[in-house]
Amino acid sequence: MIRILLFLLVVLALGLGFAWLAERPGELVITFGGYRYEIALMMAAMLLVVAVAAILILWWVIRAIWTSPHAVARYVRGRRRDRGYKALSTGLIAAGAGDGGLARRMGRQSAKLLSSKQEPLLRLLDAQAALLEGDHESARAKFSTMAADPETRLLGLRGLYLEAQRLGEREAARHYAAQAADAAPQLDWAVNAALEARTDEHDWEGALALVEARKPAQVEERAKSERRRAVLLTAQAMELLDTDPASARAAALEANRLQPAFVPAAVTAARALLRQNDLRRASKVLEAAWKKEPHPEVADVYVHARPGDSTHDRLTRARKLARMRANHVESELMVARAALDAGEFAQARKAAEAAVRIEPREGAFLLLADIEEAETGDQGRVRHWLAKAVRAPRDPAWVADGFVSERWAPASPVTGELDAFEWRAPMERLGQVVEGEEALAALPAVELEHRPSAEDAEIVTGDTAPAPAEDDVRAEAMHEDGSRSSEGETGEPDAPAEAVEPEKTSEPPVVAADPGEREITNEKPAPPREMEDTDEVTPPLPDDPGIDPDESKPEARRFRLF
């Protein structure tokens, strides 16, 4: 834009100059070599402009001819560089897509067109191609070379870190991560790995220095940094609690200031204050944490803040804390435990039942079992509550990477990740409490009908009854299912089924049919034996209905086949 304005100003100045000369006519006289030359002033001005333009054009032509070799070389070099960067770009895309062969070919081509000293990405492409081809030794050598170069130091350290993790060398991986974190504290992967290493070594000061060296700009990053500082300060306070209560108190209070809802920080700060007999401030810290997040550890420290208190004094403190978060399951459980210790069984039962109504879970049912055993000693009721506890959801606990712990820890024992523990219920059991009709529906099907066996028939009749044939069993099943009628020609139903089966033989029985239907007969069975007065009837089994006194002999069963 500025050049255009300057050009317009020059044209305007020339126009004004020529216009001024045109308004003032005159002649220019030049005497040279004994000759006198006369020319109009306007023509002289135009000749001067043309001469200047010719000189400039001549100078441009001479300069272009003089610099043409350099220009040609620069053009060739630029074209070669463009081809090299195109090959490099194609190779990096192929490496990202997992095409090792194409990445290797493009790497060779770009290495011919570009210089590795001028373009560090060539080393990265070679290393990635080596990884895709499974040549990890060559890849590590490339990454080591990159780590030695200040321009590619972080990139090389990242590659060496990933290779060490792949081989399971945690110490080497943390070593490379520490070097990267010292050089660039803004790298998340380096800072996280370095924090894990210093946390394992209980180097809380070094970990805090590493977190403070990073100066986040965004709000989320600042909140994450404050959370990490609170976790590290809490871990440091827990370690110094027995040896240096004053330092532990300062660290824990700082952590509680950064994260007021962080339960481990509040509990540690309260314990440090109680070590210095500052009951009032410790109670305030615990009450503030309880209002934000009721937690059993807060309740335990608050209730047992004064070692010399009686059980009723502890019950009073529990009621006071429970009023701050009424109708909460942790409040009810806290009051129930304190009342049980004080012998107030009615109040303990009332609070425990309220906790079950709010959130039925394992701890509440176990507490009810303890109350039942302490108050009545009724083992049946105790087993009832224990059975419910077994099938109830589990209580919340500190969980990190599938590991369940009763106490909070700054890092996961599985992966070493900082601030991995969270307060939540572990994975639920497969079975849950099922009441009423749902419980009956969940039970497996059980056949309740009693079938007298051959031994039962022998006891009742005095004779040994052979096992029924397969056809008898099938026919009996058809009769029981009601799929075939057992009524006679008169339409009257047969006699009700009796426990004592008629005497059978090993051969299939005779099946009697209605008139007009053909009979299927194999052999004539033996007639049933009538009961005589001298026969003694053995008392029936507990599950055996016995013999109907109105029936002197069983009536033969008939079944319709069609």
Task: Please tell me the predicted confidence (pLDDT) of residue 513.
Answer: 38
* E runs forming strands in 110-206: none
Neighbours of 332 (CB within 10 A): 24
Place of tokens 């986040």: 216
CA gap 185, 208 in Å, rounded: 12
Task: Please tell me the predicted confidence (pLDDT) of residue 7.
Answer: 83
Asked whether 157 and 182 are in contact (CB, 8 A), the reply is: no
In whole angstroms, how far apart are CA 485 and each of 494, 500, 509? 10, 21, 18
Asked whether 211 and 232 are in contact (CB, 8 A), the reply is: yes
Residues 6+ apart with CB under 8 A from 134: none
272-303: buried (b, 16+ CB within 10 Å) or exposed (e) per residue?
bbbeeeeeeebbebbbebbeeebbbbbbebbb
SS3 of 36, please? Answer: strand
Asked whether 368 and 358 are in contact (CB, 8 A), the reply is: no
SS3 of 403, please? Answer: strand
- With the CA atoms of 187, 188, 192 and 193 taken in that order, what torsion angle do they form, in degrees rounded to the nearest 10? -50
Question: What residues does 32 pair with on adjacent strands?
Answer: 35
Task: Please tell me the predicted confidence (pLDDT) of residue 325.
Answer: 92
Asked whether 484 and 435 are in contact (CB, 8 A), the reply is: no
Asked whether 363 and 395 are in contact (CB, 8 A), the reply is: yes
For residue 461, the number of C-alpha atoms closer than 13 Å in the C-beta half-sphere is: 24
DSSP state at residue 489: T
Residue 275: both structure tokens together: 């070590």
Task: Please tell me the predicted confidence (pLDDT) of residue 217.
Answer: 63
Task: Please tell me the predicted confidence (pLDDT) of residue 451.
Answer: 40
- pLDDT per position in the chain (562 positions), as tens? 788 988 888 888 878 877 887 777 777 788 887 788 888 877 887 888 889 889 999 999 998 899 888 888 888 888 888 888 898 889 889 888 888 889 888 888 888 888 767 788 888 888 888 888 888 998 999 899 889 888 889 989 999 999 998 888 888 888 999 899 888 888 888 888 888 888 888 899 988 988 888 777 677 888 888 999 999 999 999 999 999 989 999 999 999 999 999 999 999 999 999 999 999 999 999 999 999 989 999 999 999 998 888 999 999 999 999 999 999 999 999 999 999 999 999 999 999 999 999 999 999 999 999 999 999 999 999 999 999 999 999 999 999 988 999 899 999 988 888 899 999 988 744 334 333 333 323 333 333 333 444 433 333 334 434 444 444 434 344 444 443 433 333 343 344 333 334 444 444 444 333 433 334 344 444 444 444 444 444 444 444 443 444 444 444 444 444 3
Residues 6+ apart with CB under 8 A from 428: 393, 394
Amino acid in the structure at residue 174: R
> What count of residues does the chain have?
562
pTM across the whole model: 0.62
Task: Please tell me the predicted confidence (pLDDT) of residue 307.
Answer: 86
Backbone dihedral angles phi then psi of residue 416, each to the nearest 5 degrees: 80, 10
CA gap 22, 41 in Å, rounded: 9
Residues 6+ apart with CB under 8 A from 66: none
For residue 8, the number of C-alpha atoms closer than 13 Å in the C-beta half-sphere is: 5
Residues 6+ apart with CB under 8 A from 196: 174, 411, 416, 417, 418
Neighbours of 111 (CB within 10 A): 19
